[in-house]
Amino acid sequence: MSSAPPDSAAAPAAETVPIERTWWERRGGTVTVALSRLALVVVLLAVWEWSAERWFDITFTSKPSAIWTRLIEWHQDGVLWANTWVTLEEIVLGFVLGSAAGALAGFLLASAPRVYRVLDPFVMALYSIPKVALAPLFIVWFGIGTNMKVLLAAATVFFLVFLNTAAGVREVDRGLVDAVRLMGGTKRDIALKVILPSSMTGMLTGLKVAVPYALIGAVIGELVASNRGLGYLINDAAAQFDTAGVFATLVVLSVIAALLNLVVGLFDRWVGRWKPLEART
Amino acid sequence: MSSAPPDSAAAPAAETVPIERTWWERRGGTVTVALSRLALVVVLLAVWEWSAERWFDITFTSKPSAIWTRLIEWHQDGVLWANTWVTLEEIVLGFVLGSAAGALAGFLLASAPRVYRVLDPFVMALYSIPKVALAPLFIVWFGIGTNMKVLLAAATVFFLVFLNTAAGVREVDRGLVDAVRLMGGTKRDIALKVILPSSMTGMLTGLKVAVPYALIGAVIGELVASNRGLGYLINDAAAQFDTAGVFATLVVLSVIAALLNLVVGLFDRWVGRWKPLEART
Amino acid sequence: MSAILRLESLSKQFVKDDLGIVALRDFTLEIEEAGFVTVLGRSGCGKSTMLNLLAGLIPPSSGTVTYRGEPIVRPRPEIGYLTQSDTLMPWRDVRRNIEMPMEIKGVPAPRRRERAAELIERVGLWGFERHYPRELSGGMRRRVSLARMLVGDPETLLLDEPFGALDAQLRTDLQAELLRLWEGSGQTVVFVTHDIEEALLLGDRVVVLGRLGRVVLDRKIDIPRPRAADEMRVDPGFVALHREMTAALAEGARS
Amino acid sequence: MSAILRLESLSKQFVKDDLGIVALRDFTLEIEEAGFVTVLGRSGCGKSTMLNLLAGLIPPSSGTVTYRGEPIVRPRPEIGYLTQSDTLMPWRDVRRNIEMPMEIKGVPAPRRRERAAELIERVGLWGFERHYPRELSGGMRRRVSLARMLVGDPETLLLDEPFGALDAQLRTDLQAELLRLWEGSGQTVVFVTHDIEEALLLGDRVVVLGRLGRVVLDRKIDIPRPRAADEMRVDPGFVALHREMTAALAEGARS
Amino acid sequence: AERGSTAPADVLNVGQISNSVAFFPLFVAEKNGYFKEQGVTLGERPRLGTGAKVAAALKSGSIDLGAGVMTDALNLSGVDQSTRLAANLVDKYYVDIVVSGKPGWPGESEPLDDRIRALRGKKIGITGPGSGTEALVTYLFARVGLRTDTDAELVNLGGVTSAALGALKSGRVDALAFFQPIAQQAEAAGIGRNYISPARGDVPQLSSVAHGVVFTTQATLEEKAEEVAAFQRAVGRAQRLIHEQPAQVEPLLAEYLKGTDPEALAALSEIIREEIPKEIGFARASYDTAVAFHRETGLIDRFPSYEEIVPRDLRIAGP
Ligand SMILES: Nc1ncnc2c1ncn2[C@@H]1O[C@H](COP(=O)(O)OP(=O)(O)OP(=O)(O)O)[C@@H](O)[C@H]1O
Ligand SMILES: Nc1ncnc2c1ncn2[C@@H]1O[C@H](COP(=O)(O)OP(=O)(O)OP(=O)(O)O)[C@@H](O)[C@H]1O
Ligand SMILES: [Mg+2]
Ligand SMILES: [Mg+2]
Domain ranges of chain D: 3-78+154-254
> Per mean pLDDT, which range of C156-160, C175-179, D231-235 is the poorest?
D231-235
Strand-pairing partners, residue E214, are E67, E87
Q: Tell me whether D15 touches chain A (CB under 8 Å).
A: yes
Residue B43 lies in a domain: yes
Rounded distance, CA D66 to CA D230, Å? 39
Rounded distance, CA E115 to CA B144, Å? 25
User: For residue B14, how far is its CA from the centre of ligand 1 (angstroms)?
Assistant: 10
Number of domains in chain B: 2
Regions in chain B scoring below 70 on pLDDT: 1-14, 56-57, 277-281
Residue D16 CB contacts under 8 Å (≥ 6 apart), including other chains:
C130, C131, C135
- pLDDT value at position A279? 60
Chain B nearest CA to C75, separation (Å): 18
Q: Is the model's pLDDT at A1 over the cut of 60? A: no
D151 phi-psi bin (left φ>0, alpha ψ -120 to 50, beta other): alpha
Distances from the Cα of A260 to the Cα of A37, A202, B77, B128, angstroms: 17, 18, 49, 11
Among E6, E49, E162, beta carbon nearest to A243 = E162
Among A181, A198, A276, beta carbon nearest to C75 = A181
Residue A150 lies in a domain: yes
Instruction: Find the mean pLDDT for residues E161-173.
Output: 85
Does any ligand 2 atom lie closer than 6 A to the CB of residue D44?
yes
Residue B4 lies in a domain: no
- Helix, strand, coil abundance in chain A, percent, nearest 5: 80, 0, 20
Q: How confident is the model at residue E154 (pLDDT cuts 50, 70, 90)?
A: confident
Q: How confident is the model at residue C153 (pLDDT cuts 50, 70, 90)?
A: confident
CATH at B229: 1.10.3720.10
User: For residue D198, how far is its CA from the centre of ligand 4 (angstroms)?
Assistant: 16
Between strands C19-32 and C3-16, the pairing is antiparallel
Q: What is the pLDDT of residues B199-214, one digit of tens each?
A: 888 888 899 889 998 9
Residue A142 lies in a domain: yes
Those of residues 37-66 in A touching chain E at CB distance below 8 A are 57, 59-60
Distances from the Cα of A279 to the Cα of A273, B167, B190, E19, E104, angstroms: 10, 10, 16, 52, 64
Q: What is the dihedral of CA B192, B193, B198, B203, to 10 degrees?
A: 20
Q: What is the pLDDT of residues C22-65, one digit of tens each?
A: 889 999 999 998 899 999 988 888 899 999 999 999 999 999 99
Neighbours of E204 (CB within 10 A): 8
Q: Is the model's pLDDT at A79 over the cut of 90? A: no
Distances from the Cα of B162 to the Cα of B152, B193, B209, B257, E241, angstroms: 15, 19, 11, 20, 58
b/e code A45-83 from CB counts within 10 Å (16+ = b): eeebeeebeeebeebbbbbbebbeebbeebeeeeebeeb
Those of residues 13-32 in B touching chain C at CB distance below 8 A are 14-19, 21
Q: What is the pLDDT of residues D107-129, one digit of tens each?
A: 999 999 999 999 999 888 888 88
Query: Mean pLDDT highest for which of D20-34, D221-235, E259-273?
Result: D20-34
Q: D19: nearest CA in chain A?
A: A18
Mean pLDDT, all residues of chain A: 84
Rounded distance, CA D28 to CA D60, Å? 12
Q: What is the dihedral of CA A201, A207, A209, A212, to 10 degrees?
A: -160
Contact between A234 and B202 using a beta-carbon 8 Å cutoff:
no
Same-domain pairing of A209 and A105: yes
E110 phi-psi bin (left φ>0, alpha ψ -120 to 50, beta other): beta
Same-domain pairing of B39 and B151: no
For chain E, the chains sharing at least 3 beta-carbon pairs closer than 8 angstroms are A, B
**H helical segments located in chain B:** 23-52, 58-61, 64-77, 79-110, 113-127, 135-142, 146-170, 174-182, 187-190, 196-198, 200-224, 230-239, 243-271
- pLDDT value at position D81? 93
Residue B239 lies in a domain: yes
- pLDDT value at position A235? 82
Q: What is the pLDDT of residues A151-177, one digit of tens each?
A: 989 998 998 899 899 888 888 888 999
- pLDDT value at position D66? 92
Same-domain pairing of B45 and B162: no
CB under 6 Å to ligand 1: residues? B 14; C 14, 16, 21, 23, 41, 43-49, 84; D 134-140
Rounded distance, CA A95 to CA A151, Å? 10
Rounded distance, CA A194 to CA A169, Å? 10
Rounded distance, CA E200 to CA E202, Å? 6
E293 close to E206: Cβ distance less than 8 angstroms: yes
Chains E and D are touching, with contact defined as 3 or more CB–CB pairs separated by less than 8 Å = no
- Kindly state the helix (H) or strand (E) to which residue E249 belongs, with its residue range: helix E246-256
User: How many Cα atoms occupy the beta-carbon half-sphere of E233 within 13 Å?
Assistant: 14
Q: Is the model's pLDDT at A13 over the cut of 60? A: no
Q: Tell me whether B3 touches chain C (CB under 8 Å).
A: no
Q: Tell me whether D168 touches chain A (CB under 8 Å).
A: no
Same-domain pairing of B164 and B216: yes
Does any ligand 2 atom lie closer than 6 A to the CB of residue C135?
yes
Does any ligand 2 atom lie closer than 6 A to the CB of residue D210?
no
Q: Is the model's pLDDT at D175 over the cut of 50? A: yes
What secondary structure does DSSP assign to D166-232, as a single string? S-HHHHHHHHHHHHHHHTTTT-EEEEE-S-HHHHHHH-SEEEEE-GGG-EEEEEE--PPSS--HHHH
Q: Is the model's pLDDT at D93 over the cut of 70? A: yes
Does any ligand 2 atom lie closer than 6 A to the CB of residue D84?
yes
Instruction: Find the mean pLDDT for residues C83-90.
Output: 90
User: For residue C136, how far is its CA from the centre of ligand 2 (angstroms)?
Assistant: 5
Same-domain pairing of A119 and A232: yes
Dihedrals phi, psi of A213, to nearest 5 degrees: -75, -25
For chain B, the chains sharing at least 3 beta-carbon pairs closer than 8 angstroms are A, C, D, E
- pLDDT value at position B281? 55
Residue A27 lies in a domain: yes
Q: Percentage of residues in chain D with pLDDT exceeding 90? A: 40
Residue A81 CB contacts under 8 Å (≥ 6 apart), including other chains:
A75
Q: Is the model's pLDDT at D159 over the cut of 60? A: yes
Q: A236: nearest CA in chain E?
A: E19
Between strands D70-71 and D62-67, the pairing is antiparallel
Same-domain pairing of A47 and A99: no
- pLDDT value at position C16? 80
Domain span holding position B206: 62-276
- pLDDT value at position C99? 94
Same-domain pairing of B46 and B109: no
Same-domain pairing of B36 and B154: no
Q: Is the model's pLDDT at A140 over the cut of 50? A: yes
- pLDDT value at position B279? 60
Residue B7 lies in a domain: no
Q: B12: nearest CA in chain D?
A: D124
Residue C80 CB contacts under 8 Å (≥ 6 apart), including other chains:
A182, C149, C150, C152, C154, C156, C157, C158
* CATH 3.40.50.12140 is the classification of domain C3-78+154-254: no
Chains E and C are touching, with contact defined as 3 or more CB–CB pairs separated by less than 8 Å = no
Dihedrals phi, psi of E112, to nearest 5 degrees: -55, -45
Q: Is the model's pLDDT at E3 over the cut of 60? A: no
Same-domain pairing of B183 and B205: yes
Q: Which one of the ligands is nearest to C165 CA?
A: 2
A96 close to A155: Cβ distance less than 8 angstroms: no
Q: What is the pLDDT of residues C168-206, one digit of tens each?
A: 788 888 898 889 888 888 899 999 998 888 899 899 899
Give the best residue of A59, A90, A129, A190 to mutate against chain B (max B CB count within 10 A). Answer: A129
- pLDDT value at position D235? 83
Same-domain pairing of B106 and B163: yes
Same-domain pairing of A94 and A41: no
- pLDDT value at position A4? 39
Mean pLDDT, all residues of chain E: 85
- pLDDT value at position A113? 81
Q: Is the model's pLDDT at E1 over the cut of 60? A: no
Rounded distance, CA E186 to CA E169, Å? 9
What secondary structure does DSSP assign to E99-145, as a single string? EESSTTS--TTS-HHHHHHTTTT-EEEESSTTSHHHHHHHHHHHHTT
Between strands C188-192 and C156-160, the pairing is parallel
Instruction: Find the mean pLDDT for residues C114-142.
Output: 89
Q: Percentage of residues in chain E with pLDDT exceeding 70? A: 97
Same-domain pairing of A216 and A128: yes
